[in-house]
Amino acid sequence: MSVNSFGRVLRFTTWGESHGPAIGAVVDGCPPGIALSEADIRPWLDKRRPGASRFTTQRRESDQVRILSGTFEGRTTGTPIGLLIENEDQRSKDYSDVAKAYRPGHADYTYDAKYGFRDWRGGGRSSARETAMRVAAGAVARLIIPEVRILAYLVELGGDSIDRDNFDAAAIGQNALNCPEAAAAQRWEQKVDEARKAGSSLGAVVECVAEGVPAGWGAPVYAKLDAELASAMMSINAAKGVEIGDGFAAARLRGEDNADAMRAGPTFLSNHAGGILGGISSGQPVVVRTAFKPTSSILTPMPTIDREGNETEISTKGRHDPCVGIRAVPVVEAMMALVLADQKLLHRAQCG
């Protein structure tokens, strides 16, 4: 029942704080015989790595992951895969103010309320640094589901949505914002620059699509594929909403417009359901969108209190992402991979 673990058959556990000596993960349940080396993980970590552009935090981490167990002669053995990344650029001094007062929008106050205690260096365990290990674990998960192609990107930034008619998957890698539309990317760059200079921050919505998922993954009733995805995405830092397929818009459709009609194949005439019916995959693309709030760490001073309850102000001076949604993209992909790989193995257990 580890609260720092996720998954049922493929189960991973993460540990580590933002400014501790290292962070790590254990991936248990990976099938044996899969070719795996650090080179399979590195590209995904690079995609998430801080300091890559002016739109993300300037913290510098090389994020060199080491596989410490679970492989032999380049292949998985079926035993737990231990992953570790040393923390390098730990400027705890940036956090002296944080030690004194609670940052609004942050976990500072709630961790203290829960544990009577907190590691204030960079948010400690509540820092998005933890997501590096999700990305590493997700890279392993991807190898378990080679039949699936996963792609995530921003569809909205600071309230500005992409034009779906101009969707261009190729564009995603061509801008620093994971935006699938060249024109929107240009607008967004200006928006982010402006927010950063103003000491403010912006929110975003990340869409993730998984193609190639066969019909039959997922499990009633409390391990529904959509329930698992909702939990997975909502567990990412700054996530405030999750929707599947048409999501909240589906609540505005009529029954005959929302239900996806079927034709021989089997095939579907639409995908309002986002590839999931009754909690089980339908063979259509699985579509999930996650809303990320604007970064809570901002230069703009905010009213707050200190540990003794005295009123004060705080302005967060550390190196922070002006829009956490941008760097959430590879994390969302990783969680999608982890959920799908888990459900694949779970399905195999019960249904052979």
Using CB under 8 A as the binding rule, the residues of this chain from 1 to 30 that contact a copy of itself are 1-6, 8-9, 11, 13-17, 20-24, 26, 28-30
What gap in Å lies between CA 199 and CA 252, rounded to an integer?
37
Q: Please state the closest distance from residue 326 (CB atom) to a copy of itself, in A.
A: 12
Span near a copy of itself by CB under 8 A; candidates 44-52, 55-63, 181-189, 225-233? 225-233
Annotation-wise, does 37 bind a ligand?
A: no
Selected binder of a copy of itself within 52, 151, 176, 259 (CB under 8 A): 259
Q: Is 70 in the site for a copy of itself (CB under 8 A)?
A: yes
Nearer CB in complex with a copy of itself: 174/197: 197
Annotation-wise, does 48 bind a ligand?
A: yes
What gap in Å lies between CA 155 and CA 163, rounded to an integer?
9
Cis peptide before 266 (omega within 30 of 0): yes
What gap in Å lies between CA 332 and CA 207, rounded to an integer?
8
**Distance from chain centroid for Cα 314:** 28
Using CB under 8 A as the binding rule, the residues of this chain from 101 to 120 that contact a copy of itself are 102-107, 109-111, 113-119
Residue 6: strand pairing partners: 12
What gap in Å lies between CA 132 and CA 148, rounded to an integer?
22
Annotation-wise, does 62 bind a ligand?
A: no
What gap in Å lies between CA 144 and CA 195, rounded to an integer?
40
Span near a copy of itself by CB under 8 A; candidates 39-47, 145-153, 179-187, 256-264? 256-264
Q: Is 31 in the site for a copy of itself (CB under 8 A)?
A: yes
First to last CA, the chain: 26
Q: Is 233 in the site for a copy of itself (CB under 8 A)?
A: yes
Going from the C-alpha of 82 to that of each of 9, 65, 67, 133, the distances in angstroms are 17, 10, 6, 11
* Binding-site sequence positions for NADP(+): 48, 54
- Binding-site positions for FMN read 125-127, 237-238, 278, 293-297, 319
